[in-house]
Chain A
Amino acid sequence: MTRVVGLTGVTKEYAGGVMALREVDLSIEEGELVGIVGPSGSGKSTLLHIVGTLDRPTSGSVEIAGFDVAALSDRALSAVRARHVGFVFQAFHLVPGVSAQDNVAEGLLYSGLPRAVRRRRAAEALERVGLADRARHRPHELSGGQKQRVAIARAVVGDPGLLLADEPTGALDSASGESVMALLHELSAAGATIAVITHDTEVADQLPRRVRLRDGAVVDDTRGGPRTDTRTGIRTGIWTGA
C-alpha cells in the first residue's frame, strides 16, 4: 500500500509555550478513513493543519503524497495543497452570493485548468455529492447539510489524494450530520483517503480507524470498530439512520 501521510516525531509549539503536539507519529495509507478524536484543546486541528501543509511543525518530519514538507517552499506547498489535499471546515466557508457550482469550481481555481473544464468538473462533483439539482442555488438558499456537501464537493473536485475534514458535522443537526458522514463513507468506499476530526463518539465509532489525542500526544490508535464487519455495518447503520 502507498503511504499518503507520514508524520515522525512531530512536535508543534505555539508562541507562548503551548505544546499543541508532542512527538506525534502517524501514518495514513491510501484509501484509509481515519477519525481523529480527543478532548477540546488536545491538538486535533493543529494536527490536521500540519498534515494539510497549512502549517509546519516545530520539529519532526512530515511527508505528504511523497513530498518532504520541510524541503518545500511556501510556493511549492501551495501547489501541493492545490493538487493533493482537499479541506472541509466546520464553518463551510462558502463564498456568499455565488452559486453552488461556482463555489465548487473555486476548488479548481488554483489548479491551472481552464474555466470551462473547472465548471464542468464542478457540476460532476455536485452530482457526486447528490446536489446536482442545487447547482444554481446560492449558499443562503441551502440547508446546513447541503452547504457542507457543497464544501465537500469543492474539496474533492480536484480528486485530491487526501481529504481532511475538521469537524464537518460540528455545525449541523444530527440528521444533516449523518448525511454528511454517509457521504464521507461513500467517498471512502470509492477509494478516497480521508482524515476527519470529530467530537461525536457515535460518529467516531463508525469509522474503521480512530486516532485519539490527549494533550498533544497520540494515546490510542485503533483499527476496526466495535462491530466485526465494520464497513458494511457502518453503511447499513447510516443508510437506516439517514
Chain B
Amino acid sequence: MPRRTREHRRDSARSDPARSDSARRDPVRRDLRPARLSPRDVLHVGSGGLRSRPLRVVLSALGIAIGIATMVSVVGVSASSQEKLLRQLDRLGTNMLVASPGESMFAGEDVKLPKSAVGMVSRIEGVEEAGATGTVEATVRRNEKLPEEDSGGIAVQAASLELLRTVRGTIASGSWLNGANGRYPSVVLGHVAAQRLGVGKAGQQVWLGDRYFTVVGVLDPLPLAPELERSALVGWDAAERLLGFDGHPTSVYERSQDSSVSAVRSLLAPTIDPENPQDIKVTDPSAKLQARAATEGAFSSLLLGLGGIALLVGGVGVANTMIISVLERRYEIGLRRSLGAARGQIRIQFVTESLLLSGLGGAVGVALGAAATAVFAQVEGVPWVIPLWSVAGGFGATLVIGTLAGLYPAIRAARLSPTLALHAA
C-alpha cells in the first residue's frame, strides 16, 4: 500500500521540481480550469436529489403534469374533431357547385331556373355530373289525420335521377328513385326528414300532397347538402303528374374535375341565364364545411388559458421545491465545493434537477393529455389526433419553466459560501 502512494508521488506534478518551479513563477497556470462534467455526470448529480425524495418529486411535478395535460387534451380534442370534418371533406370532395335563383331585384318576383338548366350545365366543359331539385308546393305528414301545419319543416322536392350521385349521397335503407318507381307514388327521405316522420326504414308510407306515397329509400347524412337531409324527394315526372310541379328546377348541383372548378364557377350563371346572369347564385357547399372545420380547429382559448395557469402554478411549485432542496442540501453543496466543484457546476446541478423535475411533469402531462383525447375520440367516434406541435410545445414550455424555476435557487446554491455550508452538522 505505501509503495503505491510513493510511486504515484514520484510521477506526480508536485514532486517534479521543474513543474513546481514553473508553477511558482506563473501562478495562474493555464490548466487551472475545472474539468468539465460529462452529460452523464451532470444527469447523475442532477438526479441525486430526486432519487432520495420520490414522493416530493411526484407532488411537485403534478402541477406541471396537470397544466400540460390540459393543454395537450384541449388541442387534441379540437384537432380530433377537425380531423373528422377534414376526412369527410376529403371523401366528399371540394369540386361541387350549386346554382340557384338569387334574390330578385324586384321584391316578390319569383326567379326560376329554365327547364333546360341541367342539360346546359352538363355540357359545360369540365362538368362530369349534374343533377337538380325543384321545389314542390306540397306538404308531407306521417298520416292524413295530422293537421297540415304539422309537416315538421320538411320540404317536398322533385329530384332528378342524377342528383344522388352528384352529391355523393349514400342510401341507408331501401334504394334511390329510379326510372321505374319514379312514375309511381314513391318517395325517398333525407335522414332528418325520415326521423321527423318517424320512418325507420324503407317500406313505410307517408301522406304527401293528397295521397299516400311509399318510402322506397332513406338517405344517409349528406354533409355537403344539408337541405336535402330535410327533404322528401319525389321523382321529376311523378311531381309533375301528381303534385302540380311546374318542372322548373330550383337548384342545379354539378360536379366537375378538380382543375376546372373555378372555370365552371364563372360559366355557370351565364350558361343558365345568359341575359340575367346576376340573378343566379352560385355556392360552394364544401366552403361551409371547410369553415366549420376551421372553427372546430380553433380550440377554446379559455380552457387553454386554464391549462396555462395550472402550468404557471406548477412552475411555482417546482421553484419552491428547488429552494427547499437547496436549503436542505447546504452540506452537500459545501462538500461538493470542497471536492472541487466550481460555482457553475453547482448551478448546473440544480438547474438540471429542476429541468428533470419539470420534464417529468411534462412527460406525464403529455401522456395524460393524449389519454384524455383518446377517451374523447372513442366516445365521440372521431379519429384520435394529437398534433405534434402541441407535444413539442408542451415540452418546450416545461423546458422554459424548469430553467426559470431552477435558475434562482441554483444561483443561490452556487453563491453559498463553501465553509458556511460545512459549518456544524
Contact = CB atoms under 8 A, between A and B. Distances in A.
Q: Do A and B come from one complex?
A: yes
Interface of A: 2, 4, 30, 45, 49, 52, 54-55, 65-68, 71-72, 74-76, 78-85, 87, 89-91, 93, 95-97, 106-107, 109-115, 124, 127-128, 154, 159, 161, 186-187, 189-192
Contacts of A190: 1-2, 4-6
Contacts of B5: 128, 159, 187, 190-192
Contacts of B33: 75-76, 79
Contact of A97 (B28, B34, B35, B51): B51
Given A79-B342, A187-B5, A191-B6, A110 B14 contact: no
Consensus secondary structure, chain B interface: helix
B343 A191 contact: no
A110 B341 contact: yes
Contact of B48 (A95, A107, A115): A95
Contact of B2 (A52, A66, A113, A189): A189
Count chain B CB atoms within 10 A of each CB in A72, A110, A114, A192 and give the residue with the most: A110
Contact of A66 (B23, B34, B331): B23
Given A75-B34, A93-B331, A81 B338 contact: yes
Interface stretch (B126-134, B307-315, B397-405, B416-424): B416-424
B349 to A, nearest CB: 10
Interface size on B, as a range, is 35 or more
Contacts of B417: 55
B1 A54 contact: no
Nearest to B25: A66
Nearest to A46: B419
A115 B417 CA distance: 28
Contact of A110 (B1, B35, B418): B35
A176 B236 CA distance: 110
A97 B54 CA distance: 13
B419 A95 contact: no
B210 interface: no
B1 A72 contact: no
B32 A72 contact: yes
Nearest to A193: B14
A44 B15 CA distance: 28
A201 B309 CA distance: 63
23 contacts: A2-B20, A66-B23, A67-B23, A67-B32, A72-B27, A74-B343, A78-B343, A78-B345, A79-B34, A79-B342, A82-B34, A82-B35, A82-B340, A83-B340, A84-B14, A87-B338, A95-B332, A109-B339, A110-B336, A110-B341, A115-B38, A124-B4, A187-B5
